[in-house]
Amino acid sequence: MSSSVKILSASAGSGKTYRLAYEYIKVLIFEPRAYSTILAVTFTNKATEEMKSRILVQLNALVSGVSPYIADLQRDTGFDQEKIRRNALAARTNILHDYSRFAVSTIDKFFQKIIRGFVNELGLDVGYTVELHGDNDIGEAIDRVVERAKGEAGIAVLISRVIEDSIEDERSWDIRKEIAKIAGEILKERYQPLAREIETVIEKFDKLREDIDNKKERLSNDAAQTVAYIAANGLQPGDFKGGERSNLVKIFLTLAEGELVEKFERLEKAAESAEEWYSKTSFQKEKIKTILPKLMQATRNIIAPYREYEYCRNGFELLADNFNKRLLLSYISEELHQIWAERGKLPIHQTTKLIGDLVKDTAVPFIYEKAGNRFGRYMIDEFQDTSAGQWRNFLPLLDDAIAGSSEGEAVMLIGDVKQAIYRWRGGDWSILSGGASYYWKDEADVSEHLRRNYRSKGSIVCFNNELIRAVVNSACDRELTTIYEDFEQDVPEGKDGGYICVKEIENEDFIVNQVRDALARGYRQGDIAMLVRTKNQGREVADLLLRNGLNIIDQESLLLKNSPAVITIVSLFKLALNPKDTLALANYNRHNDRMLDAQFEQQDFLADLLAKNPVDALDEVIKMLNSDSEFSFVQAFYQVVVDFSRENSADLASLIEWWDERSDKLSLYLPSSQDAITIATIHKSKGLQYPIVFIPFCNWSTEPTSQPPTMLWCETEDKDFEEFNPSPLIYKKAMANSAYAYNYLVEKRNALIDAVNMLYVALTRAEDELYVFQKIPKKKSSSSIYNFIKEFCGEQSEFGSKATKICNKTLQPHDSITFDKFDITLSKQRVRTSWDSERFYEDGGVIETPVSQGILLHQLFSQINSREDIVPLVNAMVVSGDFSAERGEEIIQRISKSFENELIASWFDSSNRIFSENAIILPKSTSTKRPDRVIISNNAVTVVDFKFGMAKNSRHSRQIEEYKMLLAEMGYADVRGYLWYVEQELVFSI
């Protein structure tokens, strides 16, 4: 009997996507309609599109009889080639005619679909928007909390404590920035609200501080007595071993001041050895010998109290760094949720928690019913990047699929622990490495390992095998050894060759020379990638390549804020807000070939901008500039302004404040097909491959990062500290000797695994050639990953051999539409800001509006197949709170009356084939159109759109015409179209 759960370990370049698509298609060959019961989950939109495309391409190839899957499918299904072809044809047709149920999705999109079905149960606004950057509102939430301090004593006390901490530690006086550093934790899955009363926690914290101060005072007094005893016997610190520079008495002097001692181990030796106190040549040796018994006893007496004090003080100082700010997080979180509710937002990080609450308290069949699909089979890709929260949310659904599976694999998990490099984003590789198999025990099959590398040439595969094995062995970490157990890859036939260069370089000219050498051997710039760890490294590489006349693609160079056109626009906005802003004036002048101190003459124009909303103001600036340069950047900035205006207060001051905080995250995305060298972070390169890969800064640390500081949510069983669990602490070496020592060791180990995984991912992106460099460091670092590489390579710097690339292909330009200017004067081209009219509050309640009611009525009509469905569906929406009882009765009567019209009644005849809100894929596009209802009766097709407003619009007719044209292109000869204005009881034939 086959297992219900299949867990595949897929190493880099081993054909993971090929295998996932094959397993999906194999199910379709058995049952061509099974696509609607399979959910394939990936982690990026790009991977989703690639997966969908591969499935359809291979189905099409199977229909043509030329797919590489044919032999394997014959073996695994037992079907002959003709039956495979027929079933592939049926599956392809089914998917294309029912594309909306072709469920290949990102994990976030799948969870969002479930949430959309539970809007009322979760207390969300019907028209909520998903907020990708929840941190946009943190500053406002902090401001609201500070404002509340005027009337709430509890908040005022906390803010005062934060200010005192900042003054004591000589940090910034701007506590808003200090609080913001930790407030971002609210947006992360690991954030845990404070479970106890704030007053109680403060009381215990202050009591702990008092206890530690008492320990310090007793220790200081004991040390001071010892120092006084030495002085009373006529001895000075310089009389002891080591003289003035280094002696034991100085340790006692430090302890007397209440400070921690770096070399306390020497004092421990001195407690047992007289030789630690004096040397043979000590001038006062005899006098020291006289008092030595009492000195050694005093030393023994102070050791245990000191160790206890050091242990407690380390823990307390770690806790105190963020303690008061951590207490403020509860209030900031309250305000954030209030802001999101006011603006109808659902931050994407909230999805996991909301789904967790649903699956915990809701029956799985009901979840499926509300989501619109019931899945009997799951395929989850990149499973090593799944977070603990996502895993918990998936489990009830996966268990339900396993319970309903009579045979075959209900769940397939595919991933590679060695490529788990998203721990900072919540990824938990331990679920793939053992958590899932342990949970399902006998039901899980984890025997298969895809180990053949189809990406890289043989020399690169062998080099990576040997290097990574050497790194793992040198690291001597048990967890790392387990992850990389039997990781080595095989080389398929015909993949000989490959070249590797490993070198410490004095300057970057060596990199440029290697790039030019590759270009001279037939490679294009587009074949080359530079992989870096940080944005700063990316900027350095970009500057190097541009200075040497090479083309690049990198997100840093595509930041909107670096565009001269955008700088000019933003400068004018800033001048409108403050005509005396000399920096804005200089920026405007610099990018318009003017003297830097030249005054802007059109003051009336600036005053006019200030009176407009941001979108209209931008229109005026673009018309004034009348420039056709940097069209793409201006277009992208225009969309940014429109998006901002839709979700925030629409004034220039708010826009500029938001822009100054967020502009470093807003980029222009260009097609990767142009002939330019790619500069990418290693994180973003995962899943990609390039003929030639450079790793110009292969020197990242195997220790947790200090910039930005590593934040850990720690728990301890120590009785003095457990009351504060969980606490956000900054990783420091002091943790090793504190109540948080276990957290320290776990993070240190995980950082090592992250560093090695990062190396593995970077090395395995290369197809033909791999260059690994480190600039000769000014100061050696014991924690650099390059130390492992250098130890392995020794004096050898080259492996394999370079080759000349014979390229018969030329770059083919993509079909595209090019605009030569950004014309904002034509009304049809103008982007209009639509203010949401659904959310009007009165006494805490939501007033029903035509917009919100139209959404609900569309939702209702999409579920009605026959007149028998009306009453139960409306009653269900009354129970869920969508409609009042009176409104529900009114809707039932109105629809029932409409059915007196025979034409309308025919649209709800269950003997016909009815498709409600099913997507039609547009030709040569991934876009879709979604008619409200398509009815197929015999050879005739009827398409209907429901309208619930009172206004008729010519766009409605054009929409029906487009639907009719698409259905005709699909092969339907007799196509009819209708518009039904439900509220007006009017039907128009189009």
Q: Which residues are annotated as part of the binding site for ATP?
A: 10-17
How many CB atoms sit inside 10 A of residue 839's CB? 18
Query: Cα(95)–Cα(193) distance, rounded to whole angstroms?
Result: 45
Task: Using the Cα atoms of residue 120, residue 122, residue 124 and residue 127 in order, give the sign of their dihedral.
Answer: negative
Read off the DSSP letter of residue 431.
Answer: I
b/e map 361-378, b = 16+ CB within 10 Å: eeebeebbebbebbbbbb
Strand pairing report for 928-929 and 920-921: antiparallel
- Single-letter amino acid code for the residue at 539: R
Q: Please choose, from the candidates 453, 205, 242, the residue with its C-alpha nearest in 3D space to the C-alpha of residue 318.
A: 205
Strand pairing report for 986-989 and 974-981: antiparallel
DSSP class per residue in 267-326: HHHHTT-GGGT--TT-TTHHHHHHHHHHHHHHHHHHHHHHHHHHHHHHHHHHHHHHHHHH
Q: What is the 3-state secondary structure (H, E, C) of 47-85?
A: HHHHHHHHHHHHHHHHHHCCCCCHHHHHHHHCCCHHHHH
Query: Cα(542)–Cα(677) distance, rounded to whole angstroms?
Result: 9
Query: Cα(621)–Cα(640) distance, rounded to whole angstroms?
Result: 15
Query: Cα(374)–Cα(367) distance, rounded to whole angstroms?
Result: 9
The secondary element (H helix, E strand) that includes residue 643 is helix 631-647
- Single-letter amino acid code for the residue at 702: T
| CB 183, CB 175: distance < 8 Å | no
Where is the binding site, in residues? Answer: 10-17
Distance from the first to the final alpha carbon of the chain: 57
DSSP class per residue in 432-477: IIIIHHHHHGGGEE---EE-B-SSS-HHHHHHHHHHHHHHHHHHT-
SS3 564: helix
Which residues contact residue 198 at a Cβ distance below 8 angstroms, ignoring those fewer than 6 apart?
Answer: 154, 158, 327, 330
φ, ψ dihedrals at 633, nearest 5°:
-70, -40
Query: Cα(363)–Cα(400) distance, rounded to whole angstroms?
Result: 10
Cα 274 to Cα 265, 277, 294, distances in angstroms: 15, 6, 12
Q: What tokens appear for 672 in the block?
A: 């990767």
Which residues contact residue 861 at a Cβ distance below 8 angstroms, ignoring those fewer than 6 apart?
Answer: 916, 932, 933, 946
Query: Cα(426)–Cα(386) distance, rounded to whole angstroms?
Result: 8
Q: What tokens appear for 897 in the block?
A: 């009356």
φ, ψ dihedrals at 694, nearest 5°:
-110, 135
Q: Please choose, from the candidates 436, 382, 684, the residue with its C-alpha nearest in 3D space to the C-alpha of residue 555.
A: 684
Query: Cα(733)–Cα(706) distance, rounded to whole angstroms?
Result: 11
Cα 800 to Cα 451, 518, 522, 600, 636, distances in angstroms: 22, 15, 18, 62, 45
How many CB atoms sit inside 10 A of residue 224's CB? 15
| CB 104, CB 52: distance < 8 Å | yes
